[in-house]
Amino acid sequence: MTHPPATASPLAARLLDALPQTQCTRCGYPDCAAYANAIATGEAAINQCPPGGAEGVQRLAALTGQSALPLNPEHGAEGPRHVAWIDEAWCIGCTLCIKACPVDCIVGANKRMHTVIEAQCTGCELCIPVCPVDCIALENVTGTRTGWDAWSPRQADEARGRYEFTSWRRRRDEAEHVKRLEKKAEEKLAHLPELTKGATGAELERKRAVVEAALARARARRQGGAG
């Protein structure tokens, strides 16, 4: 079961439920939840979601009481659903596509070829521009079916769950990484004389400043992530 962001209004929560959850960012917002919030506050129009297509606009119109609009071509066009496919012969294992995937459906490791779990791919296309060797292509998996004819509520709900879990896991991993950096900097600062092999005077103070700056950055990242 998925849940809207804690800060979402009741309308934003209903709008989020009506979106396809591809997390493609083509609407101009970082994810479907941000777009739903923007519609609810009047910041965004209801015709900025190409994956939802014309039917998606109709759903948003019904929820907001607005008149339906044609899709805004600045955000793309309605089309069939695609899934990403990686040419494993060209993949260099850089992991950039793994980091870009909002639903964590790309499997691989550093310097090992990657592959896409087709059943979990939302067709967001975010992996395409980050690939440095252009080894990712899109494959049409729904033929002439477009918008919500090419995507089901069940698939949307599953994609939303994967996105929310992936986002939570990445925030957790980042927080743990920052804590390790902070602890490492604190330990270095506490044992600076022995770690600097007898440095004194200006040289010791220079190295102290370097460690203190690293500690300040780690603390700033931790505090920023807590917000």
CA–CA gap between residue 227 and residue 222 (Å, rounded): 9
Q: What is the per-residue burial (b if ≥16 Cβ within 10 Å, else e) of 108-130?
A: beeeebbebeeebbbbbbbbeee
pLDDT tens over the chain, length 227 residues:
344 444 579 999 999 999 999 999 999 999 999 999 999 999 999 999 999 999 999 999 999 999 999 999 999 999 999 999 999 889 999 999 999 999 999 998 888 889 999 999 999 999 999 999 999 999 999 999 999 999 999 999 999 999 999 999 998 988 787 777 777 777 777 777 776 676 677 766 776 777 677 767 767 766 776 44
| Whether 69 and 87 share a structural domain | no
146 domain-assigned? no
Q: Are residues 169 and 196 in the same domain?
A: yes
Q: What is the distance between the terminal CA atoms of the chain, rounded to a whole angstrom? A: 25
Q: Give the domain extent around 127.
A: 82-141
Say what the pTM is. 0.78
